[in-house]
Amino acid sequence: MLKKAASILPILLTAVFIILVIITFIDRQIEPAYQPPEKMYDFYIVDDKININTVNADILQAVLSIDKRTSLQIVAYREKNGAFRDIRELLNVKGMTEEMFDEIADGITVGDVK
């Protein structure tokens, strides 16, 4: 009888170990490497201003009331040259005029550029 119990003991210990490992991994949630903002507008808006380093062309066009071509030029410029460091860099974008810039300057930001 003792010999039979001794042969079952490793099997029982292995089963208990497997159950504990399964319980540990079932309770754990895998977190993605990238954590999106809680609200998508947090990504696009900083201090109530449009972040020209994160916003897409459609939002630029809709919110800032600029034409499609200029909004696409802003995104293309950003993709080619990297993040805007100052809002005045918009004047380097093809199609952006001083008048257009003056109209939107109070409503835009470059966010926290690193």
What is the identity of the amino acid at 73? Q
Question: What is the predicted pLDDT for the residue at 81?
Answer: 94
Which CATH number belongs to the domain containing residue 97 in this structure? 1.10.150.280
Rounded Cα distance between 114 and 109, Å, is 14
The length of the chain, given as a count of residues: 114
- 90 lies in a domain? yes
- For 63-94, write each residue's pLDDT tens digit: 888 899 999 999 999 999 999 999 999 999 99
Question: What is the predicted pLDDT for the residue at 7?
Answer: 73
Question: What is the predicted pLDDT for the residue at 11?
Answer: 81
- 6 lies in a domain? no
- For 14-66, write each residue's pLDDT tens digit: 888 888 777 776 666 655 555 555 554 456 777 788 899 989 999 888 888 88
Rounded Cα distance between 71 and 67, Å, is 6
Give the CA distances from residue 42 to residues 53, 81, 104, 114, in Å, rounded to whole numbers and listed in that order.
Answer: 13, 24, 19, 18
- 65 lies in a domain? yes
- 4 lies in a domain? no
Question: What is the predicted pLDDT for the residue at 20?
Answer: 76
Q: Which domain holds residue 49?
A: 40-109
Output the DSSP codes for 3-54.
Answer: HHHHHHHHHHHHHHHHHHHHHHHHHPPPPPSS---SSHHHHHEETTEEETTT
Give the CA distances from residue 23 to residues 16, 53, 54, 102, in Å, rounded to whole numbers and listed in that order.
Answer: 11, 44, 41, 60
Structure tokens at 53: 């380093």
- 27 lies in a domain? no
Domains in the chain: how many in total?
A: 1
- 75 lies in a domain? yes
- 34 lies in a domain? no
Instruction: Report pTM.
Output: 0.60
